[in-house]
Structure 1
């Protein structure tokens, strides 16, 4: 059975790596063929029979995932209805989340009133309430279970595509959100019904009321958002600064409802019910206490998951606990491995996209390690010393066991994580979270006051620990990670097993994997996909340059923290030798602060007077590792008079080595292009051109394009941006070059090595849900 379930999981995982889905006839054939093979050969006990059975299960896994994916792909927004106004009637399907001057929610479409329009069943909507304070305060508030008539403008799911970046399109696809968009601000929005009676909507309205009660009792408390998140799964209520503290101390998993929370709360309630049940002879005769405890624990886990919005991590935990509960209720001892694999099968049958989530792997790895260590310590002596030793062994196992996966997925690990979790796990799981849930059911304010006091003490302890460094390194390859996992198992073998130290040797490649760097004289230029903005990373043999820091997305989110810093960390960049901030516009400078906080910066060049560093001006030049860097614009005299637009002060950088050249132009416009032609026409010629001002109609004059003569042109642009960049007539001017676009191609890599070569991330990492 174990091998068959693993083969089924392998088939599911294989499907999620495909660029396109297999044809419906092929998927149906695999499903029928796998079922027939399983029926014919499932009882064979010899090696050939087991092999054929495993192949059949893999076929079933691939076919099952393909059929479900194909069904979900049918529910899509037609391309011709992107960016068009559509009037819809539907229900606010989940807890809305506030952002700067707006709200975001999931919306179930019930009726499309625009003739000819066809929309997916569930979409993600943002409702912007204007920029003036009176507009913000007087705007209507939306609540779950309300029926509204909106005029919306939608687009297909689209996210930034960068190496080691978050796949937003996969996240939307797994949750069945098949379009995103916004409510048209000037169109009438009409609330049709205050409450739509459906079970899912009732739960969401209940969650909304509970969230309101938390903020009514503690309106100005520093950590009330954490308590709300622990009770109802509203992670948006936690400020970015607190998330950063959790990452530094390695307790992020505790501050959102995960499998650990659900399991601990269920175990706590099961133990309480079992203890009380044994006090009644009549109840004991009606149902044995162990079975009553199992039923109470499962009901608690299910209810807590519903209260948390039945998010994907909580769903996985409920499926796992359901398998374990059924086995215990029936009196069968399935064993740890069978219980885990049956839970894995249940998860993949209901959610074959779970394998795309880092939490899926981390949760199963953590549970498996706990089973592994717990089995090894069966029969150990009892007493407080034994309990303390078991707790220490558990912390050691989880910390060490998840290390390879954390390095692969996030490229960092908190060195104080074991100490932080040793206090945080029992405190959050057995006191803070149960008290928050108790207040959700019985809203007595002193409960919340005391809970917040406990949490404040924990946060003070975490702030004390946060000053310690975090282990950061380049992302190890998958092979090194698998070897490290083998090393973890070897290290955690029972005491007395010979040569356990060899496990540490197997861990070393993942811990010490060196970052890839170009050779002396070569350079790599990466134009990142940051949406409507610009960020370019340039690496030579021993130096790093960042050209612009991407856009500011909101008051608490920018390209620096979301894209640039994770990208640099994954590629082993520990220092920026030169930061060039071309001009003031927030689509180019929005992520500067996050980059400055994350990495030391040796030199800053900028046309922004408020930034520390030195101004950029034509004539500045330097050489790193055989690669030449030259600033071509603005001129020093441009700083003497104030430009009408900040675009005119954009720093233009030319990069050149023996194999080619790249011209980075930021947001220069026609007059700046003419100034460059007048001042340095001969120095403009380059093999690759970063198209000025995202392909705007104010730039890319024919004379400038001709003077550069680029073989390739890269347009950094956001998908269906409100500026309608790039302009079709501007793109047509680059007909003599191969045009790359970050909205279509994702991050673009320029290799100036033995020969000039360009590649895109979406071409190398295309999946069947991308663009769908």
Structure 2
């Protein structure tokens, strides 16, 4: 008698098929974040359910196992697209009607986080307030009800009726002016609009007046966090010490100045001074270690609750508590979610391979936060965990235990440093070559000493003073290491495909594969190491008009030379300016390692505010500009003078203004630069030249000498510039006004817009365009040069808006996230 054939095993009995489904789900979530228009969630959801149903039918049949698995994978991919689209649409629906931008509205809201001090921004001290509104406001001058977003970021500047800023957890009635989220967009830089979307902030603005309605209840988490911050600031006098302690305990990263963040970044230890996955995981491990010690001391406890399970879940509880104390930010949520999934798998006895366990954790985190899958912190955290899980421990180590511990620490840090190299280049554009050494000292010192001391200080404030000694020692060490030659490698930003190849090759090199395969993985770095951006050919130039809000910064490149004309506005001390925030990162991402000339057209802060940061961040050959004696760069600067001309690689450059010895207001002596390539295509960059000086320049210039295909609108499109005589003499094909979204000056003025329209000249603004690029070798300029058009995403504000009297004190920006 023939024995019956064994029943076919379900295709999902093994955990590995789950990996394909989880990866497909995450791919669907991530894909949506790269689209200019949101897909239809219902259509994709329906297709996903159909495909998933067919896959399950195929799996049950036992004969279409591959078809069933494929259907399940396709179904989960479609469901991922549908889920991310639905989440995004729900978030986008919380938008402000453009008709109510810049108008006085009365709204009630609760301070939903720690207010952030903005000393000196916009010329006045103030606070940035994260608010959770009721969802409705009303017109301050009428009875109309206005829907407003739940998440709002406001600036509170000191002034009449604004002497006491709101505190965390309080409820206020505020008269505000709001605008939609609209922030500068430049190539090679993170998208801050996405960062705010992930956190639910859908409107920004400023406070006109306010009235406290309800004080914060004693149990409010945010109020508790602010009281702790007050305690730190009251007990610790040194600004750096209290800023670091507030960052490690509360996740408040705003107190550390830009220069200190630059030092941490160059030393490769930024992740240690923010609430990161490393600290939360380390705290969970310390709690688990303490629980195991207690269970060994009282073995009878293990009869009620086994030590491994107790350590696992009490450690997770500790991690959750630390994350709450730190504000329950998105990075903290991701870390706790990862730990919870891993703890659940272990408690269920699911001995899944570690790649599948990480995939499951990533899928859960992505379901809660689809935008996490395109954020640096997500990938850095998960890749670091993957490197550790893949590396394991070396068997057969001999010698004293301290030597084994040191060897394991060095090996682990080396693996993590190498594993994160391509991601660091992809996300941050630089790698700290001293990071391996600095982390060997900083990781145990911060994780095992500084963080515990900072947390102990919550109950015993004297511990904060001991932490201050460690902070000073760490800073001295990092300053010495960053001073080493070649401490930081900041190559040009390679295309995503080249960076992705290096990521895959690094994974192959670290995987436990035959040596030949691992060496082949290392070869994937060759394109990344050899890649450099193409420079203009001889006789041509590249012009990049950066988006720096209400200000000016223009980068000019020829075959072998680089010039920066202006460096954007400043909001406070050096480092709190557009030069450090946007200009320097853009130049480095484009492979600029030296400026042949830094030009400051005139001393107005919206043109000169970032110049000092640029001069400190890059070697500069010559400083040129109309600078007053008190300017920090005045001693190095030589004036720009009309009549001076020079040739760079076949490109003719001329100063047209001011005349030698000219005097007057800042705008009247603006440096005016004319650039013409070998084919005769030209750009004219007149800074803030007023109409009277425009007419004088036209009068003294030979006919046709001012003609240019691209004109940077004088004075950001102010009504005091762009005279009819000027437009007739220049005869541009395109014009661009560097003006901020809904700026307080009303640039470009309506009369100027009408003047350009009457002359048949399209006028773009940096608010609607983002950064603008023109390569003269490619032909005439066009709207295709707009960065917002090239990199359109669904969350970007659809269009520019008419200027309005509205302004915030400085731009919203993400803190340094590990």
When normalised by structure 2's length, the TM-score is 0.89
Compute the displacement of 1:681 (Å): 4.9
Q: Which residue of 2 aligns with 1:426?
A: 444
From 479, 482, 485, give the equivalent of 2:503.
485
| Counterpart secondary structure, 2:254 | helix
The alpha carbon displacement at 1:508 in A equals: 2.2
Query: In structure 2, what is the equivalent of residue 688 of structure 1?
Result: 710
Secondary structure of 2:764's aligned partner: strand
**2:72 aligns to what?**
53
Q: 556-565 or 110-119: which moved more?
A: 110-119
Note if 1:766 corresponds to 2:792: yes
Alignment of 1:648 with 2:665, yes or no, is no
Offset from partner CA, 1:11-51 (integer Å, 9 cap, x none): 11111111011235424434443443454345566433322
What's the TM-score, normalizing by structure 1? 0.95
1:148-187 counterparts in 2 under 5 A? 148-184=172-208, 187=209
Measure the CA separation in 2 of the matches of 1:294 and 1:220: 38
**Matched ranges for 1:12-27 at <5 A:** 12-27=29-44
**Aligned mate of 2:693, from 651, 672, 676:** 672
Distance 1:41 1:681, change over 3 A: farther
Residue 223 of structure 1: SS of its match in structure 2? helix
Whole-Å separation in 2 of the counterparts to 1:427 and 1:373: 23
Give me the whole-angstrom Cα distance separating, in 2, the residues matched to 1:714 and 1:362: 38
Q: Distance in 1 between matches of 2:752 and 2:291?
A: 71
| Whole-angstrom CA distance in 1 between matches of 2:541 and 2:87 | 44
How far apart, CA to CA, are the structure 2 residues paired with 1:126 and 1:38?
Answer: 53
Q: CA deviation at 1:757?
A: 3.3
Say if 1:35 and 1:60, in contact at 8 Å, map to a contact too: no
Deviations 1:32-71 (A, max 9, x none): 4344345434556643332222211111111110011111
Contact 1:147/1:196, CA 8 A, preserved across alignment: no
* In 2: Cα distance, 1:737 partner to 1:360 partner: 45
Counterparts of 2:21 and 2:270, CA distance in 1: 34
Q: Which residue of the partner structure matches residue 483 of structure 2?
A: 467
Tell me the equivalent position of 2:318: 300
1:614 to 638, 658, 661: 638
Q: In 1, are the aligned partners of 2:627 and 2:637 still within 8 Å (CA)?
A: no
3-state SS, counterpart of residue 770 of structure 1: coil
Note the residue ranges of structure 1 that are not aligned, 5 or more in a row: none
Q: Does the CA contact (< 8 Å) of 2:52 and 2:71 recur in 1?
A: no
Distance in 1 (alpha carbons) for counterparts of 2:772 and 2:21:
41
Per-residue CA deviations over 1:490-513 (Å, capped at 9, x if unaligned) read: 432459734643333221221231
Q: 2: distance between equivalents of 1:179 and 1:317?
A: 28
Whether 1:326 aligns to 2:352 is no
Change in 2 beyond 3 A, CA 1:496/1:65: closer
Matching residue of 1:67:
86
256-265 vs 236-245, which deviates more? 236-245
Cα separation, 1, equivalents of 2:717 and 2:224: 48
**Cα pair 1:409 1:475 within 8 Å, conserved:** no
Partner of 1:328: helix, strand, or coil? Answer: helix
Alignment partner of 1:721 out of 735, 743, 750: 743
Is residue 220 from structure 1 mapped to residue 238 from structure 2 by the alignment?
A: yes
**Equivalent in the alignment of 2:647:** 623
1:195 alignment partner, one of 216, 240, 253: 216
> Which residue is equivalent to 2:7?
none
| 1:292-338 residue CA offsets vs partner (Å, 9 max, x unmatched) | 11111000110011011111111100000001111222233223112
Structure 2 Cα separation of the partners of residues 221 and 703 of structure 1: 55
- CA displacement, residues 603-639 of structure 1 (integer Å, 9 cap, x when unaligned): 121011432221001001111111110000111131x
Cα offset for 1:414?
0.9
Post-superposition Cα deviations, 1:172-227, rounded to whole Å, max 9, x if no partner, equal 1000111000101xx3x111111257x7xx11111111111111111235322101
Q: Is the contact between residue 42 and residue 53 of structure 1 (CA under 8 Å) also seen in structure 2?
A: no
Q: Distance in 1 between matches of 2:372 and 2:265?
A: 23
Q: How many residues matched?
A: 754
The secondary structure found in structure 1 opposite 2:106 is strand
Does structure 1 residue 94 correspond to structure 2 residue 113? yes
What residue is the counterpart of 1:112 in the other structure?
A: 137
State the partner residue of 1:657. Answer: 677
Verify: 1:635 aligned to 2:655, yes or no: no
Deviation per CA, 1:695-737: give whole Å up to 9, x if none.
1100111111111110111111100000011111201111211
* 1:530-556 Cα distance to aligned partner (Å, 9 max, x none): 000000011111110111111113334
Map of 1:241 onto structure 2: 259
Counterpart among 602, 606, 615 of residue 596 in structure 1: 615
Higher mean alpha-carbon deviation, 566-575 vs 38-47, is at 38-47
CA contact (8 A) 1:583 1:608 kept: yes
Q: Distance in 2 between matches of 1:350 and 1:369?
A: 24
Counterparts of 1:432 and 1:526, CA distance in 2 = 44
The runs of 5 or more residues in structure 2 that have no matched partner are 1-17, 120-124, 799-818
Q: Deviations over 1:663-692 (max 9, x none)?
A: 001101111101111111522111111100
Task: Compare relative contact order (CA 8 Å, sep 6+) and give the higher one, 1 or 2.
Answer: 2
Q: Which deviates more from structure 2 when the two are superposed, residues 505-514 or residues 74-83?
A: 505-514
Change (3 A) 1:223 1:681: farther
Which of the residues 271, 291, 294 maps onto 1:276? 294
Check whether the contact 1:12–1:61 (CA below 8 A) recurs between aligned residues: yes
Deviates more, 1:26-35 or 1:520-529: 26-35
Question: Partners of 1:409 and 1:665 in 2: how far apart?
Answer: 35
Aligned to 2:774, the other structure's residue is in SS state strand
